[in-house]
Amino acid sequence: MHPQALPGFRDFYPDEFALRAHIFQAWRQVATRYGFEEYDGPPLEPLELYTAKSGDEIVGQLYNFIDKGERHVALRPEMTPTLARMVAARANGLKKPIRWFSIPQLFRYERQQKGRLKEHFQLNCDLIGEPGPLADAEIIALAIDVMQALGLDSTDFRVRVSDRRILEGLMQSLRADEGDRAKLYRALDIVRKAPGQAAALFAEAVPRGSLVGTAADAFQRLTTPRPFSTEELREFLARFGIPEVASSDFFRVVSALSELQLSSFVEIDLTIVRGLAYYTGTVFELFDAKGELRAICGGGRYDNLVGALGGVDLPCVGFGMGDVVLGELLKDKGLVPTHRSTIDVFIAGIEGGDVPHILRLAHELRDAGLRVEYALAPQALGKQLRLADTRNARAAVVAGSEERARGEVMLKDLVAKTQRPVSMGDLIPTLHAMIGR
Ligand code: HAM
């Protein structure tokens, strides 16, 4: 038997774990900088949590089964329904606006391809209880600042923003019915990846005589040229009779991002639709600037989900940022910090009788906050010092019986390649001074 990880699942050897830890650290740092508090929920949820509101695409990718108690359950494919359920259960007791973040591992039975696996980690940041556009801008700014904290700038990535209310306004003015709308949204969603397929869907969706020309015009304007300037967007809204109210929040989101000095990252792109069913307003996605990779992050406003899951109506806006494409982009840009297994001190002995002293000393040094290792089986001094080198130890302490008799140890500076005796009483402060902490 040669058991291997399942396709689409990752082993994190220490080198790979170091990149994951680096990403998580930036995620936590920036989310807390924006006043967000961390939460979590269960990785296994009732199946109906997703079948009710997430939309067909994600439901088709569920890892679901019937458990031993005959319950229909699913591994979480996204965090938003769990969050909405948790908030709905305590809606009245929570101080609004709620600013919460989480870093769940998620599971989707997707075909494995570059940037898409069957499990991934996702930073989720959600702002709940604030309907105004400054909340949307805050959430988008947070996503941009996470990317900047990882060393990426406006030459590396873009946020493409759109608004479901504007697209709904357009659908109304085209008099598209439910079925047409679904097809038109889908056509917009895939137009970048598969323009031919999008055109075919579009042709299917607009059979109604007098509106065909108008719809074709709208579709063409939406998809070329991109991105829209705010002036072009105003002209577009007027041309297709989309009411002011559908777009006023969107213009404020865009202007707030500019006031936050972030406009170099932002593009208006009305082909951003988002596959999930629950979005109601602003929607956005983050992509690498060259457009070579899958989406790094996606989110938007979803004002009806908490109410639909049994809570009071609470407006929400948030995003999910995955670790997979982000890791690829960091690698492409040379922004992955080199990982080195490192300790501060290696304690070596000369003979078997040194072991009890080494153990006691190791414990004292670890209590003092130092990273310490020693040989776990008898070894010649040379071999112990080679192990110290492999671990990139800053110092080695040789605790032989002769030094002990004088109340000392031999301290080796493994960088300067020097050594000197140090009294036991001075060892901890000397090591702290050497290591610089
Ligand atoms: P989503 O667009 O489905 O949104 O996922 C967000 C991000 O998660 C994607 O942009 C991508 O980076 C990553 N991702 C998704 N699926 C995979 C996969 N199979 N493999 C690797 N990475 C993946 C949501 O999940 C929403 N619930 C986000 C949200 C939070 N909206 C509001 N609040």
Ligand 1 atom at minimum distance from 61 CA: 19
Cα–ligand 1 centroid distance for 421 (angstroms) = 57
Query: Ligand 1 mean position to 430 CA, how many Å?
Result: 49
Average pLDDT over residues 141-169: 97
Average pLDDT over residues 329-340: 93
What pLDDT score was predicted for residue 176?
A: 86
The predicted model gives 52-70 an average pLDDT of 88
Residue closest via CA to ligand 1's atom 2 equals 298
Instruction: Give, for ligand 1, the residue of 122, 309, 325 to mutate: max count of ligand atoms closer than 8 Å to Cβ.
Output: 122
Q: What is the pLDDT of residue 210?
A: 56
Pocket test residue of 56, 62, 75, 78 for ligand 1, highest count of atoms within 8 A of CB: 78
Buried b (16+ CB within 10 A) or exposed e, 269-289: bbbbbbebebbbbbbbbbbbe
Query: What is the average pLDDT across 199-216?
Result: 77
The predicted pLDDT at position 244 comes to 85
Peptide linkage before 356 cis (omega within 30 of 0)? no
Cα separation, 23 vs 218, in Å, equals 40
Q: What is the mean pLDDT of residues 88-109?
A: 95
Task: Name the residue at shortest CA distance from atom 24 of ligand 1.
Answer: 320
From atom 18 of ligand 1, which residue's Cα is the shortest distance away? 116
Which residue's CA lies nearest to atom 1 of ligand 1? 298
**Residue 207 binned pLDDT confidence (cut-offs 50, 70, 90):** low
Å from CA of 319 to ligand 1 middle: 8
Q: How far is the CA of 339 from the centre of ligand 1 (A)?
A: 27
Ligand 1: lining residues by beta carbon, under 6 Å: 78-80, 108, 110, 116-117, 120, 122, 124, 126, 276, 295-299, 318-320, 322, 324-325
Which of 79, 85, 120 maximizes ligand 1 atoms within 8 Å of its Cβ, making it the mutation to test the pocket? 120
Ligand 1 atom at minimal distance to the Cα of residue 126: 33
Whether the full predicted model's pTM is greater than 0.75, yes or no, is yes
- Can you give the pLDDT at residue 208? 62
Q: Report the chain's C-alpha Rg in angstroms.
A: 29
For residue 356, how far is its CA from the centre of ligand 1 (angstroms)?
53
Among protein residues, the one with the nearest Cα to ligand 1's atom 16 is 116
Task: Decide: 51 and 81 in contact? Cβ < 8 Å.
Answer: no
The residues, any chain, with a CB within 8 Å of residue 347's CB and separated by 6 or more, are 358, 361, 362, 365, 372, 373, 374, 396, 397, 399
The closest-lying atom of ligand 1 relative to the alpha carbon of residue 296 is: 12
- Range in 206-210, 327-331, 423-427 with the lowest mean pLDDT: 206-210
Percentage of the chain surpassing pLDDT 70?
99
User: Is residue 120 within 8 Å of residue 228, measured between CB atoms?
Assistant: no
The span from the CA of 332 to the CA of 277, in Å, is 33
Tell me the pLDDT tens digit for each residue of 299-331. Answer: 999 999 999 887 788 999 999 999 999 999 999
Mean pLDDT, range 25-46, rounded to an integer: 98
